[in-house]
Structure 1
Amino acid sequence: MTVMGQEINDYVARVRAALADLPPTQRDELTEDLADHLTEVAAESEGTLVERLGEPETYAAELRAAAGAAPGGGRNLDQKVATAVVRVRSQLREIDARLGPPLGYATASDFLRLLRPGWWVLRGYLAAMLITVLSTGGSYGLLPRFGGELLAGMVMLVGFVLASIWLGRRSARLTRWPRWALHTGSLVLVAFALAALANAENRLGYTDYYYDQTSVDSQYGQIRDVFVYDSEGRLVENARLFDQNGSPIRLGYPDCQGPVDEYANPLLRPYPYCPGQAPFGPRAPGVPVPPAAPTTTPGPTTTPTSTPTSTPEPTGTATGQPTADPTVTPTPTPTS
């Protein structure tokens, strides 16, 4: 349908909406040749039908007056709703026609029709992911799972994609309410996709401040802080724990004042969170670590049992008695 043909249809629909209070037979008689008349008017000169004939409601009032019908002074709710719907549709079609040329098509809807098969596949994937979230209590990844089982999730994914393609190929033949139900379901899936993207963005943003939590036994559930001491009994600050795979282990939760992010969540801190609460007397903040005392290996020592009474004479003749100390031995001097 051309843009002119769409404009004529919209104009006729608004005229009929303005005449909605008349009996259907009389309304059909008044608008029977309206489309042909509008086609002739549109072919005569440039400009929109509204510019040349006025608003459709004004044109409808002229038709009513020409037919001698009662003026529609008090329009009922159906007339107002019908008129509003027609106006909205007309505005949407104008936007559609304006967005088409930048995309290389007469209307934007012509371009979007080419993307429908891709949307059908994406819709099936989003439906599988929604079931994954519902069946796993909110846990999800890139691939769907049913009750935490990947194989069942992949089977579900294939089924949903095929069903979505089947519905997409037959959506034009659906009646009014099934079509509305399909559109409503699609809107729900789009909202779910946007929420999942926002959640994923938040999770990626938190990796700058937090380690991934590592599961530990329940006996550590009441831990609030971790204090590490070296072999000398000194508190080790700025310590971090890792498992055998290099994954960080996080225990406890800071219950003392520390740096926080813009959402008032505590930033990642090494152990201990609160050095001032150490159970074995931590160092005061700013006090340097005292140097460790040098360690020596004790050797065998001897205790003297007596004191030497004399020392050898330089003449070489031992005049004194040897002491009990095994380290002092008199040296005999040879004589000639």
Structure 2
Amino acid sequence: MTVTEQEITDYVARVRAALADLPPSQRDELTEDLADHLTEVAAEAEGTLVERLGEPETYAAEMRAAAGAAPGSGRNLDQRVATAVVRVRSRLHALDTRLGPPLGYATASDFLRLLRPGWWVLRGYLAAMLVTVISTGGSFGLLPRFGGELLAGLIMLVGFLLVSIWIGRRSGRLARWPRSAVQVGSAVLVVFAFAALMQAEDRMRYGDYGYDQTSVDSQYDRIRDVFVYDSEGRLVENARLFDQNGNPIRLGYPDCLQGAYVKQTLRAYPYCPEQAPFAPRAPGGPIPSEPPTAVPGVTTTPDPTSTPDPTTTPTPTGTATGGPPAGPTATGEPTPTATS
């Protein structure tokens, strides 16, 4: 069995974890050439390092004794952390080896290495979208924008793609701290990607219900339903509202409907006609209106161009039905004439 580079790395890590109680300078001195030594041992014969050299902790005790270092009096915090890290790495390595054959490779890492160029491109895109969210106050779409400007966002995207590819091609030659910074940044972008996907999925779900508020101001955020009346006071059902650009205006929450949050249908207004604030006028019924207010001393003159209501019966002027004349009638009295 050939010793892999990962096995050598894990062995060195376990040895350093066993020597974690020593001063850092002394520990680095003892393990400085350990990786090269293990590579030479692995090239001499078959077998794992544990089979040939023993457990890393035993090998570390031998190194400690050969250097005359005091044996560890106990496991300090650094040693416990280092041991935990080594244990996690060992389990990940075992999982990597187990998942490799189903993918057609010795390890899953060999398969993932083929996807690195795609990840470099995706990382640059996610970085541009993260800047978009920060610069626009949380709103974003499929394309990045810088401060709401699409052209600036596309220029930013190209720049991030080039930087991400450049870092990816040189990640193996980066020092420890720059490499750790790149790994932390990549983890942040992955978390951001999952959060953005969840938000986009919520938008699609509730967008089908028509609950998202589009083309409205904050003063409408508490509207539960919309009732539309025509010019004759009749309630309009199955009404839909649009803005000047043809975008639907969606308001309210159909709380009165059972299963409204399950059915993915876009309902028209009103959601609940039985809850209309004003009683709708029946077809052919009178139009509700307020009576005119009479002003003392002012005589209303009818409009000669108006059309009389056929349902109203006119009453002759100056004649009271079933009673005496409306006023006295002069008979036989001469009419005085003005004489010049």
- Residue 202 of structure 1 corresponds to 202
- What residue ranges of structure 1 are gaps of 5+ in the alignment? 284-288, 299-336
1:135 match = 135
How far does residue 212 in structure 1 lie from its aligned partner after superposition? 5.8
Residues 16 and 27, structure 1, Cα contact 8 Å, conserved in 2: no
Q: Is the 8 A contact 2:136 2:148 kept in 1?
A: yes
- What count of residue pairs does the alignment treat as equivalent? 283
For the Cα contact (< 8 Å) 2:30–2:63, is it kept in 1?
Answer: no
Question: Secondary structure of the residue that 1:145 maps to in structure 2?
Answer: coil
Residue in 2 that maps onto 1:311: none
More RCO (CA 8 Å, sep 6+): 2
Q: How does 1:181-192 map to 2 (within 5 A)?
A: 181-192=181-192
CA gap of 1:223–1:73, structure 2 versus 1, over 3 A, is closer
Provide the C-alpha distance between the structure 2 equivalents of 1:25 and 1:232, rounded to a whole number of angstroms. Answer: 91
Whole-Å Cα distance in 2 between the matches of residues 97 and 188 of structure 1?
27
User: For the aligned residues, what is the CA RMSD?
Assistant: 4.3
Q: Within 2, Cα distance between the matches of 1:72 and 1:217? A: 69
TM-score using structure 2 length: 0.65
Letter in 2 for 1:76: N
Matches within 5 A, 1:72-111: 72-111=72-111
Question: Letter of the aligned partner of 1:83 in structure 2?
Answer: T
The alpha-carbon deviation at position 164 of structure 1 amounts to 1.2
Task: After TM superposition, list the pairs within 5 Å mapping 1:234-313 onto structure 2.
Answer: 234-242=234-242, 247-251=247-251, 253=252, 257-259=256-258, 270-273=268-271, 275=273, 278-282=276-280
Judging changes above 3 Å, is the alpha-carbon distance between structure 1 residues 235 and 32 closer, same or farther for their aligned structure 2 residues?
closer
Provide closer, same or farther for how the CA distance between residues 258 and 38 of structure 1 changes in structure 2, counting only shifts above 3 A.
same
Deviation at 1:63, TM superposition (A): 6.5
Distance 1:6 1:165, change over 3 A: closer
Which of 38, 48, 71 aligns to 1:35? It is: 38
Contact in 1 for aligned 2:50/2:56 (Cα 8 Å): yes
Inter-partner Cα distance in structure 2 for 1:133 and 1:112: 29
My pick for the range that moved more, 140-149 or 48-57, is 48-57
The whole-number CA distance in structure 2 between the counterparts of 1:27 and 1:35 is 13
Over 3 Å counting, the alpha-carbon distance change for 1:42 and 1:8 in structure 2 is farther
Rg comparison, structure with higher value: 1
Cα distance between partner residues in 2 of 1:259 and 1:170: 59
Provide the secondary structure at the position in 2 that maps to 1:250.
Answer: coil
Q: Offset at 1:154?
A: 0.8
State the percentage of identical aligned residues: 73
Structure 2 residue matching 1:272: 3-state secondary structure = coil
- The 2-side partners of 1:19 and 1:222 are apart by 65
Extract unaligned runs of 5+ from structure 2: 287-309, 311-340
Shift of 1:123: 1.1
Q: For residue 141 of structure 1, give the secondary structure of its aligned residue in structure 2.
A: coil
- SS in structure 1 opposite 2:208? coil
Q: Which amino acid aligns with 2:38?
A: A
Does the 8 Å contact 2:42/2:49 carry over to 1? no
Mapped partners of 1:28, 1:216: distance in 2 = 67
Aligned to 1:56: 56
Shift of 1:56: 2.8
TM-score, length basis structure 1: 0.66
Residue 248 of structure 2 aligns to a residue in which SS? Answer: coil
